Structure 1
Amino acid sequence: MAYEVTVDGITISSNEELSEKECRAYIHYIQSKNHNRNIERINLDFEGDDVNLGYYLEPQGFEKIRRITGYLVGTVDRFNDAKRAEERDRVKHM
């Protein structure tokens, strides 16, 4: 990749020089396919009339959901003392 430019905080690498308008068009296209995700980096490889488009999205966090004492929960912070004791004393299978 010979050219590298940063547009809106996104690094775009390419084997051809691109205008800012073209860069924004690629960013818009990727964002339309990946709603609510942030783009980290874009790689463009031009081969004649074809373009190989590669991009990396920022990692997305998730909340672990477990079934504890008959309830689907992420944390036990809302459990009373008895439910917390039941969770603490259960046999954990790994």
Structure 2
Amino acid sequence: MKINVIGGEMDRHEIDEYIKYAAEKYTGRQIGQMDIIIDGEFVDLKIYFKDMDFQRAYRSTDYLVKTMDKLNDAKRSEFSEKERHSVKE
């Protein structure tokens, strides 16, 4: 992960605490880069996430899944009956 400290200096322990905070706040997402912006007594965090790598997402009544394996029989049946639209690349 790339860390940029902007607008001042910060010791390694404090940087590690901000990394820990971001990792706990965004559990399940992979952080690629973080800007720590110092503005006087305040600190702003700008977080850039790594792209999630998946080939297709299936929408099934208000949620997304990566694979059909997570759907029960009723949802699979509902999905198979839906009208298909072309995929634009």
Paired residue for 2:53, among 61, 83, 91?
Answer: 61
Q: Which residue of the partner structure matches residue 51 of structure 1? A: 43
Structure with the bigger percentage of strand: 1
Paired residue for 2:2, among 10, 21, 25?
Answer: 10
Q: Secondary structure at the match of 2:27?
A: coil
- 1:12–1:23 Cα contact (<8 Å) kept: no
Which of 1 and 2 has higher RCO (CA within 8 Å, sep 6+)?
A: 2
Q: Which residue of the partner structure matches residue 37 of structure 1? A: 29
Q: Secondary structure at the match of 1:51?
A: strand
Q: Provide the C-alpha distance between the structure 2 equivalents of 1:23 and 1:59, rounded to a whole number of angstroms.
A: 23
The list of structure 1 runs, each at least 4 consecutive aligned residues, that deviate by more than 3 angstroms after superposition, is 91-94
Length, aligned pairs only: 67
- TM-score, normalization by structure 1: 0.54
Structure 2 unaligned residues grouped into runs of 5+: 61-66, 69-79
Structure with the bigger percentage of helix: 2
Structure 1 unaligned residues grouped into runs of 5+: 1-8, 68-73, 76-86
- TM-score, normalization by structure 2: 0.57
- 2:37–2:44 Cα contact (<8 Å) kept: yes
Q: Which residue of the partner structure matches residue 21 of structure 1? A: 13
Q: Provide the C-alpha distance between the structure 2 equivalents of 1:92 and 1:31, rounded to a whole number of angstroms.
A: 38
Q: What RMSD, in angstroms, separates the aligned Cα atoms of the two structures? A: 2.8
